[in-house]
Amino acid sequence: MVAKGYGAIARVRNGLLVTLLLAGAAASEPVTVVALGDSLTAGYGLADQSQGFVPVLEGWLKAKGHDVVVQNAGVSGDTTAGGLARIGWALGPDADALIVTLGGNDLLRGIDPVASKANLDGILKEAVARKLPVLLVSMKAPGNFGPEYKAAFDRMYGELSSAYGTLLADDFFGGLRAAGADPADPASMAKFMQADGLHPNPEGVKLIVEGLGPKVEELLGKVGG
């Protein structure tokens, strides 16, 4: 009877040990952040892809002590419509959080802000349905299409962020502005941009990440919350 009792206790103990080990393994898994965007996210034009936005951001976060994987869901040339079309499969089962940086190509094509806003709305709905925290990154419209277009485009990010309770980064290029560059002044941007004047070079990417990094840290703090 003693031996049988001991065996039962051992089985319970071993079962608890396995449970604890499994729980520990789950707890040690890195946080997976999906970065949904266009060429700015994808790292377009860089000879060394390790110098692109996603790998540099992941490295920045790891240097800050975060156990994180940032997945590159950037597609060069993508609009908000393209992002909406692929959000369902871009968010895999391991996704814990989402960064959305879309709208730049909508600007280049002069797409109606009403349509862009509707597309972003659909993306955020999908994230909410999956209970994922989101960082929405704003793009700033130039004055090419007039003040009404600019006002409508610029304000849509804040309106959507408020409606869905997301985090909001005011400007993708905020890190460059902090370094004294002005996207409206090509000369001030030149040393941070590739020859096309649209995409950051490695130095520009570093500054952009430094500007957005704290917001991404805030996003990580919301995972599992």
pLDDT per position as a tens digit, 71-92? 999 999 999 999 999 999 999 9
pLDDT < 70 stretches in the chain: 1-27
Domains of the chain by residue range = 30-221
pLDDT of residue 20: 45
2-11 pLDDT, tens per residue? 455 555 554 5
* Tokens describing residue 107: 């600007």
Does the domain formed by 30-221 have CATH 3.40.50.1110?
yes
| Token digits of residue 102 | 């879309």
Q: What does the alpha-carbon distance between residue 25 and residue 121 come to, in Å, rounded to a whole number?
A: 36
Strands 97-101 and 134-137, by their bridges, are parallel
User: What are the b/e assignments for 51-81, b being 16+ CB within 10 Å?
Assistant: bbbbbbbbebbeeeebebbbbbbbbeebbbb
What pLDDT does residue 44 have? 96
DSSP codes joined into one string, 107-123? HHHT--HHHHHHHHHHH
Residue 110, Ramachandran bin (φ over 0: left; ψ between -120 and 50: alpha; else beta): left
Answer whether 52's CB lies under 8 Å from 72's CB.
yes
Residues annotated as part of the active site: 39, 196, 199
